[in-house]
Structure 1
């Protein structure tokens, strides 16, 4: 480098700055706004929006809680289908939020009547295809199982709608290091066929906090800049 700084040192410094920006963002207040059961209930918003999508019981609400450092912000359950509406959260100071978070009902199997599951699946699909403020979908995938057919269906929908999405492997604490690395590599390879997919696959655990700083950093790059 012209100033004598080694590239690896400069890269480490840039990554540290990204991690710090993510920490600062998610240290801000995070407020539950509303739960909606139809698109008409979604608020008009000038904020960039990030949605948490994935199969039922993949850990969406747990990841929202881990990111925000609030154990009860989003309701969690071991019963698939607990989240049955789109839950919206504003991240940032009162009156000056920087990012909207959307916790979506899960795709696939749920312990709920079929008619209700079908209704929230239609709601989620319509939201993913037609929400103007949506900047990125985090497609959560259980690291133990990898991509399933329902995940690939959602990926195809997002490809067709030109909505950027990033796969986040969850529950990595349930696997060994080697198995996690193999699952990550296999997922990266599968995503090369999908035009709207972010190339980086993040590995996380809501239980241990692994990967949470890196995910916060990625979302901080999407958030509205802080007010001067």
Structure 2
């Protein structure tokens, strides 16, 4: 049972993601974005944070989002349609912070993401994934500041929580929530997840539905 979300919302979210979820398109630049006709919820995170695995767990599909042993392969905005008729879209943002990425790729990423965040009226919330084993790093703070500056509401999601001890998780959760409370666009409550164990996935689904209203 969730301590954060109403049971009715949890159940509604479960049914929503049990329905149709389909890849729509990849957008390497703003001119390739789909029409701004339904709400969008975006996912952001470091290139090795487990974003694709979490999207697959969220939607109950094994291969909706491409997972790779080479972090940083996703360098476009990937859009997924949810519901039939279409209800909203999930947006898989390109991973950041991959040390071996060429400088021109990093610059292209920054322009694409910044322009999307600032100019997308239908973007309701961004879910920022943080590896629970490391907590918030400076490279994560860069995206948090971009979201704050763009006045885009966001919620922090801890990933890979099955990889650390409960006491360590409690500590990183406390530190992360303390930092979130200081940020103007951040939701104060975070969600702790594990793609492998399914931990926090019902709450994550509910957070998406809550965001679109």
Query: Which TM-score band applies after superposition, normalised by the shorter structure?
Result: over 0.9
Distance 2:75 2:155 in 1: 23
Out of 19, 22, 43, the residue aligned to residue 52 of structure 1 is 43
Corresponding residue number in structure 1 for 2:113: 124
Out of 8, 11, 28, the residue aligned to residue 19 of structure 2 is 28
Question: How many residue pairs get matched?
Answer: 211
Q: Is it true that 1:217 corresponds to 2:206 in the alignment?
A: yes
Out of 70, 73, 79, the residue aligned to residue 61 of structure 2 is 70
TM-score under structure 1 normalisation? 0.88
Q: Is it true that 1:61 corresponds to 2:49 in the alignment?
A: no
How far apart are residue 155 of structure 1 and its match?
Answer: 1.2
Q: How does 1:44-193 map to 2 (within 5 A)?
A: 44-93=35-84, 96-193=85-182
Distance 1:75 1:54 in 2: 15
Unpaired runs of 5+ in structure 1?
1-10
2:124–2:212 CA contact under 8 A, matched in 1: no
TM-score under structure 2 normalisation? 0.94
* Secondary structure, aligned partner of 1:194: coil
Distance 2:116 2:37 in 1: 16
Distance 2:65 2:99 in 1: 18
Distance 2:119 2:45 in 1: 18
* Secondary structure, aligned partner of 1:47: coil
Unpaired runs of 5+ in structure 2?
none
Out of 13, 37, 40, the residue aligned to residue 31 of structure 2 is 40
Distance 2:48 2:182 in 1: 26
RMSD over equivalenced CA pairs, Å = 1.6
